[in-house]
């Protein structure tokens, strides 16, 4: 197959290179992939429909009733309001507390508590909104409640909230505002993707909803797309989506930006580009540290391929230990849902170091490569792998893959 560059596509279609890049990361150009630092686009790819013109055309054709609906949409709530707020570094809690709307302020505080590793406080606040009539508030509360209770090992509560998110999509109708529909689709996809569960059969593609989302949530939706590409072992696409989203970001939305850097780390480490992976991990930590946004690092530990150990164990020992504590709690809840729902049997009793080494070994890294990456001796690597094989009761290194994260 022949390909063209972003510049060539822009010239052919008569649009800016920025718009071509945006179409690529949002999945509107079939077959587009990112290699190195550049997107490649199939030569026979068709120009996507212009979202701006579609929106303008719809606005011109508004009926009086539509105008009433447009005014009503101005009063719609914003899902995950803290995630949609660009605050100064160190200002996360102040940003949440300063939101005027009482309900949005409560959800923003639940976000802050969850992302800063205070799951019990987050769960208590979110619980009050699990049955709220407003879809944005309810979806936000259910998502936070589900993940907070994974960490707290309250699996029935977590599962109930997850099921409520998925049920919301089924109950949408033609009267549901587009942005609320987009929230429901993206949060449902997020719940499934982060737990490595199959997407519901009738769930619309996330890429069809991105244009309806506010800026901060749009970045989170792109993270979900990048993570999904990762699960499909499309590591180049994973990195391409994350890198381009970060490049095109016009304001710093701290929380989704952290998630984008983490998913880029995941992609790069599977491409065996350790330096790029470490750069993204450090970029995420630089944003997260002033506000103690530590939970995302614990969520992703098993997928980061030892980059946390390589970057943070020595320079940030106290924070590293906290992340490992979060990892044990979150991953225990994660496995209880994932393993039961999928029939997989991911390793349960390994230490985080053993799990990290086993993950790399399962993906074809040699002992020498693992030791260089983690800055430990090859004998230490051999010792850990032998221990893992014994604990999992398997004879050979090649059998590790069935017990490791995909």
Q: Which of 45-54, 149-158, 198-207, 387-396 has the highest mean pLDDT?
A: 149-158
Q: Which residues contact 172 (CB under 8 A, 6 or more apart)?
A: 180, 181, 184
Contacts 24+ apart (CB under 8 A), 368-377: 369/272, 370/306, 373/274, 373/305, 373/306, 373/310, 374/306, 374/309, 374/310, 375/310
The answer to whether the CB of 246 falls within 8 A of the CB of 231 is no
The pTM assigned to this predicted structure is 0.79
Q: Which of 12-26, 181-195, 199-213, 359-373 has the highest mean pLDDT?
A: 181-195
CA distances from 136 to 68, 97, 166, 387 (A): 20, 19, 14, 47
Task: Enter the tokens of residue 8.
Answer: 């060539």
- What's the burial of 251, exposed, middle or buried (CB within 10 Å: 0-12/13-18/19+)? exposed
Q: Using 50, 70 and 90 to split pLDDT, how confident is the model at 36? A: low
Task: Enter the tokens of residue 30.
Answer: 């079939």
**Looking at the predicted structure, is the pLDDT value of residue 315 above 60?**
yes
Average pLDDT, the chain: 84
Please report, for the chain, how many H helices and E strands are present, in that order.
20, 3
* pLDDT value for 371: 83
The answer to whether the CB of 327 falls within 8 A of the CB of 302 is yes
Cα–chain center distance at 101: 27
* pLDDT value for 372: 79
Least confident of 62-71, 74-83, 188-197, 352-361: 62-71
Q: Please report, in angstroms and rounded to a whole number, the separation of the first and last CA atoms in the chain.
A: 29
* CA dist., res. 51 & res. 80, Å (int): 24
> pLDDT digits over 359-393, tens only?
788 777 888 888 877 778 888 888 888 888 887 77
Least confident of 205-219, 266-280, 380-394: 380-394
* pLDDT value for 334: 76
Q: How much of the chain exceeds pLDDT 70, in percent?
A: 87
| Ordered DSSP codes for 99-148 | -SSHHHHHHHHHHHHHHTT-HHHHHHHHHTTTT-SSHHHHHHHHHHHHHH
* Mean pLDDT computed over 36-45: 78
């Amino acid at each position: 197959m022949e390909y063209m560059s972003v510049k060539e596509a822009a010239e052919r279609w008569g649009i800016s290179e920025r718009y071509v890049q945006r179409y690529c990361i949002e999945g509107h150009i079939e077959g587009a992939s990112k290699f190195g630092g550049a997107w490649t686009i199939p030569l026979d790819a068709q120009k996507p429909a212009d979202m701006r013109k579609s929106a303008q055309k719809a606005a011109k054709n508004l009926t009086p009733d539509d105008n009433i609906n447009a005014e009503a949409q101005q009063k719609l709530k914003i899902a995950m309001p803290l995630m949609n707020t660009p605050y100064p570094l160190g200002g996360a809690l102040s940003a949440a507390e300063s939101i005027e709307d009482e309900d949005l302020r409560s959800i923003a505080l639940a976000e802050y508590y969850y992302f800063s590793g205070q799951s019990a406080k987050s769960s208590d606040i979110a619980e009050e909104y699990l049955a709220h009539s407003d879809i944005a508030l309810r979806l936000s509360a259910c998502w936070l409640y589900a993940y907070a209770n994974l960490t707290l090992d309250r699996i029935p509560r977590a599962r109930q909230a997850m099921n409520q998110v998925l049920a919301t999509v089924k109950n949408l109708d033609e009267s549901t505002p587009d942005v609320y529909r987009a929230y429901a689709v993206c949060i449902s996809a997020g719940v499934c993707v982060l737990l490595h569960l199959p997407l519901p059969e009738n769930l619309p593609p996330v890429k069809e909803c991105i244009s309806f989302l506010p800026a901060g949530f749009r970045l989170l939706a792109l993270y979900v797309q990048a993570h999904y590409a990762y699960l499909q072992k499309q590591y180049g696409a994973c990195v391409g989506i994350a890198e381009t989203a970060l490049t095109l970001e016009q304001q710093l939305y701290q929380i989704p930006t952290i998630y984008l850097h983490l998913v880029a780390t995941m992609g790069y480490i599977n491409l065996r580009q350790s330096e790029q992976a470490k750069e993204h991990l450090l970029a995420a930590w630089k944003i997260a540290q002033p506000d103690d946004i530590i939970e995302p690092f614990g969520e992703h530990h098993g997928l980061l391929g030892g980059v946390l150990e390589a970057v943070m164990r020595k320079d940030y020992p106290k924070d590293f230990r906290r992340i490992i504590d979060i990892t044990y709690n979150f991953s225990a809840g994660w496995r209880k849902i994932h393993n039961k729902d999928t029939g997989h049997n991911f390793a349960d009793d390994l230490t985080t170091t053993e799990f990290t080494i086993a993950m790399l070994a399962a993906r074809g890294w040699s002992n020498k490569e693992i030791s260089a990456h983690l800055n430990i001796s090859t004998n230490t690597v051999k010792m850990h792998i032998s221990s893992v094989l014994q604990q999992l009761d398997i004879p050979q290194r090649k059998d590790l893959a069935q017990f490791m994260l995909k």
